Amino acid sequence: MSLVQISNIKPKRLPLDQLGQTPEFQNWANGVEAPEMDSNSRRDILKLMAAGAGLAGLVSCRRPQQYIVSFSKGVDDLIPGKPRFYNTVYNLGGVAQGLRIEANDGRPTKVEGNPVHPGSKGGSSTYSQGSLLNLYDPDRCSFVMKDQAASSWEAFETFAKDHFSKLGEGEGLAFVCERNAGDSWRAVMAAATKKWPKALWLHWEALNNDNAVLGAQKATGTAAEPVYAFDKADVVVALDNDFLGVDVSSIEPTKLFSKKRKVSKAGDTMNRLYVVEGHFSLTGSMADHRLRLKPSEVAGFAAEVLKLVSGTEEIKVEGEGRKKFASALAKDLKKNAGKSIVCAGPRQSPEVHALALAINQSLGNMGATVNLLQPLTPPQTEALKAFSAALGGGKVSTLVVLGGNPAYTMPSDVNFAARAKKVKTMVHLGLEHDETGMIAGWCLPQAHYLEAWGDGRAADGTASIQQPVIAPLFGGKTSTEVLAMLAGMPETKGYDLVKNHWTAGFAGDKEKAWRKALHDGVIEGTAFAPLKLTVDVKKISAEPVPSPTSDAEILFLAANGVYDGRFANNAWLVELPDPITKVVWDNCVTMSKKTAESLKVNMGFIAEEGDMVTLTVGGASVYLPVVVVPGHADGVFGVTLGYGREKVGRVGKGAGFNAYTLRTSAGMGYAPVKAAKASKSYQLVRTQDDPAGDSQNNRPIVREATLEDFSKEPKFAQEVTGPPLESLFPDWEYDKGNQWGMTIDLNQCTGCNACLVACFSENNIPMVGKKMVAMGREMHWIRLDRYYAGDADEATVALQPMNCQQCENAPCESVCPVAATVHSPEGLNDMAYNRCIGTRYCMNNCPYKVRKFNYLNWTKSKTELENLASNPDVSTRMRGVMEKCTYCTQRISEGKIAAKTDPAGRRAVRDGDILTACQQTCPADAISFGNILDPNSEVAKLKASPRNYALLAELNVRPRTTYLAKLRNPNPDLATEKKAAAAH
Amino acid sequence: MENLTLTKSDLDAISPRMVLDKGTRPTGYREVTEDVVSIVEVKTPAAWWVAFVVSFLVMCMLFGMLAYQVATGVGVWGNNSPVGWAWDITNFVFWIGIGHAGTLISAILFLFRQKWRTSINRAAEAMTLFAVACAGIYPVFHVGRIWRAYWLFPIPNTDLQMWQNFRSPLLWDVFAISTYGTVSALFWYVGLIPDLATVRDRATGLRAKIYGFLSLGWRGSAVHWNNYEMAYMLLAGLSTPLVLSVHTIVSFDFAVSVLPGWHTTIFPPYFVAGAVFSGFAMVMTLLVIFRKWFHLEHLVTIKHLENMNKIMLVTGTVVGYAYGTEFFIAWYSGNPYELFTFQNRAFGPYWWAYWSMISCNVLSPQFFWSKSLRTNIPFMFVISIFINIGMWFERFVIIVTSLHRDFLPSSWGYFRPTYVDILTFVGTFGLFMTLFLLFVRFVPMIAISEVKGVIAADKHRNLPQHVEAEMAVKHNEIMKVVV
């Protein structure tokens, strides 16, 4: 369906003849310069497409004129069925993620990383992939509400004009806004501050990197944010820092880190990762050495490492294991001085960050691998205190919440919900009718980032324009627009605000520069220059180290799916299994086996009910279901935030438990906690929940070796014995044309889950709900297998993405009675949905269990709005048919058609022309795909690697997807402690 | 003739004649006709109505469940990933297996001239047909899109426009089951013709017309008998390989796959033995009830029951041996997946299913080594029920425990039946019993003409006096039935 059918939209339309008179059209028609096309690579074609849209100015849904052209009248350069691409950014937690949006018939259908953007380099995260679904959330805030009754923007504007002009200097006015490092937002904010100098401002993000900024301030005297060049570091130490997982924006660190994990032949080197943490994070799963510490013990450990590194004193680390770890680590760091990184995570106090910087300074890493930049957004610790005091003291009479859901995410001691209710005038601009919207007098619909103009800055400071891809579905406005309106600024249209702000600063042809910025998705030369700051090592060494508590501690973690709760109504992200616990539709408390034993609690397996634990911080208690994680520190309870929303749409209702009630402003990262077994039990649903399925059962599944063993025995992964591999049927010679194949490098995969969400979006994968996942019916075409090794204390984790392996000798094909799954001459295991009658025999006979059956009609409850998120190139499957990964066969066809119809002449598909959705989104570049017959293709080269192995090759299924074995790079000084981890 | 003495083989040859127990009730032509045909002629007993109404309601529940499933999706069952087949195929193999006893009794025992079969073959064949009807429900209804199930048959249609995949064992199944159903029905009906004529001859009015139509103009002439005997023998010859082939092909559904626990060459003989085992158990369960209910103890004697118990002892032991062999091979092959699968069967989450199977199938028939136990009717009834349960568990163990934990531990799962699974299975018993009750009400449940053949031989034998005397002396030895 086309956009114009949505009832809520009342577009202003211009007849085509009038449209032709617009200056933009004239410009375009008169041949305003198109970017040169020097080659025909996919990237250039995409660029050209994006440029075409940017230049044309009138065809896409929200262009400067804000007109919508009915498709029935035809648009010259819009080819029906051909997607268009736009570069934009998504501000998440104040950090911009560079994205490239695919739009089909004017509706955004897929999010990709922008290859040009320094913060994404083509990769993206679960959050940005999933953010698309929030656009089409049927429970979105869709109209203005006054005291929970329908109202209009006009009514609000009238009210605002009156109310906000009477506020004088801004006494009693408070703003709580989402963080945004965009310059146009800051300009509007500056204007508003000028108008109301006494207004209170709180830039609230429940998950932020403020402690790093404060730590840098402590260490250098200047507020600064550290950024790390992981691609230049041979030794990386993460102090409670999940930089490859959910902490901060993990895409760029993952990109850089994975470069140091590329090992193609014996003798190659790779980096060494030490992780010190309490829970088991994704970064921990990549670790070569992992030390389990309570979060409060990290400071002491960092101080000792600092002493060892700066060579001042004897170590006083408690415990033999830790002592050994610290001294080996310090030795390794010293050896790699200038080529190492010590980074602390956002949960750790500014003191720990200062210690980490001091270690880096002592090692000479500052300026080499660690740089300090101007912070994107200033730390809000003091602002929070001031706001909390004002709100508690009844000094706030007008409260404006611009984005976000502070009633849910604020520390419990702020008591936001109860206190804000007493505020006389409260305005909330939000994407959904959430907890904050419930207490606000005025509820305003916020524009989704795909609907509105804006800007943002990436972690390195690079600025980008956020350009919309679709007109606001529900007439929403951005924070910037609303603030401009409240401040009575003459210009309140987002487009004008952003464009005027930026073009003012451009030199030369401003219009051209503006169009280039839109086209590229980045504004060149806007990255921050590193600050020349020195860390005062002596001062930091002399400071008292915060002593660890003897209590049990709770860690507040971002969820891999719902982040801080903003995606709680996003089915893709709620049904996304946590990479370690594999829990879906809920959060849980993770703990070590010993801790569970001391509390006498057991976790539930195979969807049976398990025990719950009552966690008490201060006076607040929360019940949480238990998941025991090997390798977890004893006395530590890991809890993800973002669940247990009270006022949430149809998806998030009843999902999980609200851990924010335990989070105070004094303990936002971790806090002492009292835990006791609760009398209740709870059914926690996990996608990998067989009691014996947590380990590899001594099977050669994830093949793993140390770097040293690999150099001695490079073909270790290929040594699997078995009977001779013979087939009953004559072999098909796959020796012509394109023969598609894939490799997945297990040494690079961090398990971030982005490929799963990318696949959901690309292939219209239905989400099935908690009850159905409990029955084992999730439809994920690609899953992330997680295996523990080692014992309950010192465990390692191996992760393995698992999608259809496209076996040449596919066991699923021979058993299908109606030949609904057959092999293509290009080596794809095709699935003809229309021919499938649903015997499920193929699923039974699939040794990888990657085929998914539509047991019920999963799309029955889907609204028309949600259907807009569907990829038109992929048919949705009816109930009763089998489905599975086909290496994004629609993308293969598209690539082949593009190669055939190349304006420069028909040609073969080039390597890199076709990217599968999982490959394209992978921030670690772990997935390669291409023609295996082409010896120069990346995939063929990787398949020649000694680390390459076919999983379950002994069954003679001849999978086209192969894995590159995992390596670890242990420190020889710690080798005796390390157990043989792998199941090889 | 003077020196005629009876050898062991002579005794064996004539012993089937003497299986009818003349001690309790007369077994002349008239009596046999009267005893059997009167069952279908008397006023419908109240007990029949009670049983029929109950069965009919249970059958209606089956159709209700199937309608619900077709309307909603296969997801109303507990099947999942990795357990794509569960109770559906378990019940399919269970019912198909039960059917096998009927064909074995009527065809193979006929060719081997085991005349004791005559008293039980009619009921056993009827049971075969009804069991195949129950079994046939599952392969059809277990598919996701039942409205396309006809694509399984190589019939011309405009929407598929291609041949089926002849490599798929499921397609072999389609041919095997449909052939089996057709031949069984024909065989049963041909055997019925003389008896239907007998009923016709005693009936009047509409009843006579209907039975007359069904008996295809049978007059009992020598030519009729000649043709009939030939047709019957040919059909028996045709059915005999089916006894072996049908369950062999059903076992190929599993044996041809790559799954540990399924991928085994032992499956064909093991499945056939299991099928015969379960089939005899079901015949036993039914006959113990019906011979008592309709006072046919003189026609279905303790000797028949004992013979069947012996067969159960043999096949049960064969099945037990197969279980042992599977374990041995799992260890001996050195295949870690195979070994794990079998350890998992015995000690994994479904251990209870495995040990139910072992105790019901391997241990319970061993009691039949004792003559007193295998001639004890209440005891054999209980054991036959146990065997039915055990054989259901065997299929459940093979299908579900192999599927739920296969190659990659990450994909392991667990199956739990839903209420629809359970009620559908219960419902098939309703269908089975409804059909069986209709059968005993309207069709002679014992093959009159064949039993008379046995009587005839008995009555019209002309042996020397001393041989008769010797036979009287050796009565017990003769009555010892050799299978």
Domain extent listing, chain B: 8-479
Strands A425-430 and A442-445: parallel
Mean pLDDT for B82-105 is: 90
Give dist(CA B481, CA B14) in Å, integer.
11
pLDDT, averaged across chain A: 86
pLDDT of residue B5: 61
- The single residue listed with the structure tokens 């490859």 is A244
pLDDT tens digits, B321-360: 999 999 999 999 888 899 999 999 999 999 999 999 999 9
**Cβ contact, residue pair B84, A699, below 8 Å:** no
> Chain A within 8 Å of B234 (Cβ-Cβ)?
no
> A817 and B165 in contact by Cβ < 8 A?
yes
Question: Inter-chain contact B84–A843, Cβ cutoff 8 Å?
Answer: yes
* More confident position, A984 or A307: A307
Give me the pLDDT at residue A75, please: 59
pLDDT of residue A892: 94
Q: For residue B74, list chain A residues with Cβ-Cβ distance below 8 A.
A: 838, 840, 853, 855-856, 880
Is residue B170 scored above 80 in pLDDT? yes
pLDDT, one tens digit per residue, over B34-44 is 888 888 888 88
Does residue A62 or residue B146 have the better pLDDT? B146
Q: Which of B149, B162, B340 sits opposite A837 (nearest CB)?
A: B149
Q: Which residue of B has its CA nearest to A689?
A: B413
The rounded radius of gyration (Å) of the Cα atoms in chain A is 28
Are the C-beta atoms of A187 and A481 separated by less than 8 Å? no
Tokens of A421: 């209710």
Residue of A nearest to B335 (CA): A722
Query: What secondary structure letter does DSSP report for B368?
Result: G
Q: Which of A422-436, B149-163, B237-251 has the lowest mean pLDDT?
A: B149-163
Q: Say how far apart CA B219 and CA A175 lie, in whole Å.
A: 104
Q: Does B337 touch chain A (CB under 8 A)?
A: yes
Q: Report whether A811 contacts A847 (CB < 8 A).
A: yes
Say if the Cβ atoms of B73 and A855 lie within 8 Å.
yes
Q: How far are the Cα atoms of A55, A122, A499 from residue A522, in angstroms, in the given order?
A: 16, 13, 14
pLDDT over 70 (residue B11): no
Q: For chain B, give me the number of helices (H) and strands (E)? A: 20, 0
Say whether A697 and B413 touch across the interface (CB within 8 A). Answer: no
pLDDT at A878: 92
Q: Which one of B73, B152, B412 has the shortest CB-CB distance to A693? A: B412
Cβ–Cβ gap B408/A835 under 8 Å: no
Task: Give the torsion through C-alpha atoms of B282, B286, B288, B289, to 10 deg.
Answer: 150
pLDDT recorded at residue B323:
93
Contact (CB, 8 A) for A116 and A484: no
Mutate to test the interface with B, among A782, A821, A839 (most CBs of B within 10 A): A839
Say yes or no for a CB contact (<8 Å) between A855 and B79.
Answer: yes
The residue of chain A nearest to residue B348, with distances taken between CA atoms, is A692
Q: Do A955 and B258 touch (CB under 8 A)?
A: yes
- In this structure, how many other beta carbons lie within 10 angstroms of the beta carbon of residue B44? 10
Please write the tens of the pLDDT for every residue from A150-208. Answer: 899 999 999 988 888 888 888 889 999 999 988 999 999 999 999 999 999 999 999 99
In whole angstroms, what is the distance from residue A237 CA to residue A240 CA?
A: 9
B176 contacts in chain A (CB < 8 Å): none
Domain A552-686 matches domain A704-726+740-973 at the CATH topology level: no
Q: Architecture of domain A220-373 in CATH?
A: 3-Layer(aba) Sandwich (3.40)
pTM: 0.87
Contact with chain A for residue B410, Cβ under 8 A: yes
Task: List the single range of A899-903, B219-223, B293-297 with lowest mean pLDDT.
Answer: B293-297
| R_g (Cα) of chain B, nearest Å | 24
pLDDT for the residue A748: 93
Listed by start position, the domains of chain A span: 3-138+458-478+485-520, 220-373, 552-686, 704-726+740-973
Res A977: pLDDT:
47
The pLDDT, as a whole number, for residue B9 is: 54
Residues of B with CB below 8 A from A879's CB? 73, 75, 144-145
pLDDT at A730: 82
Q: How confident is the model at residue A984 (pLDDT cuts 50, 70, 90)?
A: very low
Residue B479 has pLDDT above 80, yes or no: no
pLDDT in tens, A200-239: 999 999 999 999 999 999 889 899 999 999 999 999 999 9
Crossing angle of the two packed helices B169-202 and B29-41, in degrees rounded to 10: 110
Model confidence over A716-746: pLDDT tens digits?
A: 888 776 778 887 778 888 888 899 999 999 9
Nearest CA in chain A to B416: A775
Q: Are A568 and A562 contacting, i.e. CB atoms less than 8 angstroms apart?
A: yes
Among candidates A817, A836, A845 on the partner chain, residue whose Cβ is nearest the Cβ of B164: A817
Q: What are phi and psi of A401, to 5 degrees?
A: -105, 115
Query: Tell me, what's the pLDDT at B4?
Result: 55
Asked if the model's pLDDT at residue A34 lies above 50, the reply is no
pLDDT average, residue stretch A457-463: 90
Q: Does B49 touch chain A if contact means CB atoms closer than 8 Å?
A: no
Tens of pLDDT, residues A863-898: 888 888 999 999 989 999 999 999 999 999 999 999
Structure-block tokens of residue B362: 């391997």
Alpha-carbon span B189 to A574, nearest angstrom: 61
Judge whether residue B456 has pLDDT over 60.
Answer: no
Cβ A772–B258 below 8 Å, yes or no? no
A334: three-class secondary structure by DSSP: helix
Nearest CA in chain B to A836: B145
pLDDT number for residue B102: 82
Residue B368 has pLDDT above 50, yes or no: yes
Q: What is the pLDDT of residue A447?
A: 92
Would you say residue A146 has pLDDT above 60?
yes
Question: What are A270-325's pLDDT values in tens digits?
Answer: 999 999 999 999 999 999 999 999 999 899 889 888 888 887 655 555 666 788 88
CATH 3.30.70.20 fits A704-726+740-973, yes or no: yes
pLDDT confidence of residue A3: 38
pLDDT over 60 (residue A70): no
Overall average pLDDT of the A98-116 stretch: 90
Q: What are phi and psi of A875, to 5 degrees?
A: -75, 145
The two structure tokens encoding residue B88 = 């559906």
The architecture that CATH gives domain A552-686 is Beta Barrel (2.40)
pLDDT of res. A17: 54
| DSSP state for residue B398 in the 8-state scheme | I
State whether A819 and B72 contact (CB < 8 Å).
no
| CB distance B194 to B448 below 8 Å | yes
Q: CB of B113 within 8 Å of any CB in chain A?
A: no
Judging by beta carbons within 10 Å of its beta carbon (0-12, 13-18, 19+), is residue A269 exposed, middle or buried?
exposed
Contact A817 B79 (CB under 8 A): no
Q: Report domain B8-479's class.
A: mainly alpha
- Strand blocks (E) in A658-739: 670-683, 685-686, 704-706
Q: How far is A557 from chain B (nearest CA, A)?
A: 25
Residue B243 confidence (pLDDT) = 83
pLDDT score, position A71:
57
The answer to whether the Cβ–Cβ distance between B80 and A840 falls below 8 Å is: no
Calculate mean pLDDT across residues B295-318.
87
Residues B389 and A877: their CA atoms lie apart, in Å, by: 39
Q: Which two tokens stand for residue A498?
A: 């952003």
Instruction: Say if CB A319 and CB A331 are below 8 A apart.
Output: no
**Cβ contacts of A21 within 8 Å, gap of 6 or more:** none
Helix (H) or strand (E) holding A823: strand A821-823
Query: What are A931's strand-pairing partners?
Result: A740
Q: Cβ of A854 and B144 within 8 Å?
A: yes
Q: Quick check: A59 pLDDT over 60?
A: no
Quickly tell me which residue has 């209606």 as its tokens.
B60
Residues whose CB is less than 8 angstroms from the CB of residue A631 and which lie 6 or more positions away in sequence, other chains included: A280, A284, A290, A292, A592, A788, A790, A792, A793, A794, A795, A796, A797
Nearest residue in A to B171, CA atom: A817
Looking at residues B134-138, what average pLDDT do you find?
92
In chain A, the percentage of residues whose pLDDT exceeds 70 is: 90
Furthest-apart CA atoms within chain A: distance in Å: 87
- For residue B324, how many C-alpha atoms fall within 13 Å in the half-sphere facing its CB? 8
- Min Cα distance A748 → chain B (Å) is 20
Task: Considering only the beta carbons, identify the residue of A688, A699, A844 that sits closest to B85.
Answer: A844
pLDDT confidence bin for A751, thresholds 50/70/90: very high
pLDDT higher than 80, residue A13: no
Residue-level pLDDT at A54 = 43
Q: What is the pLDDT of residues A570-601, one digit of tens each?
A: 999 999 999 999 999 999 999 999 999 999 99
Residue located via tokens 């894995």: A963
User: Do B144 and A851 lie within an 8 Å CB cutoff?
Assistant: no
Residues of B in Cβ contact (< 8 Å) with A836: 144-145
Question: What is the band of A979 on the pLDDT scale with cuts at 50, 70, 90?
Answer: very low
Average pLDDT, chain B: 87
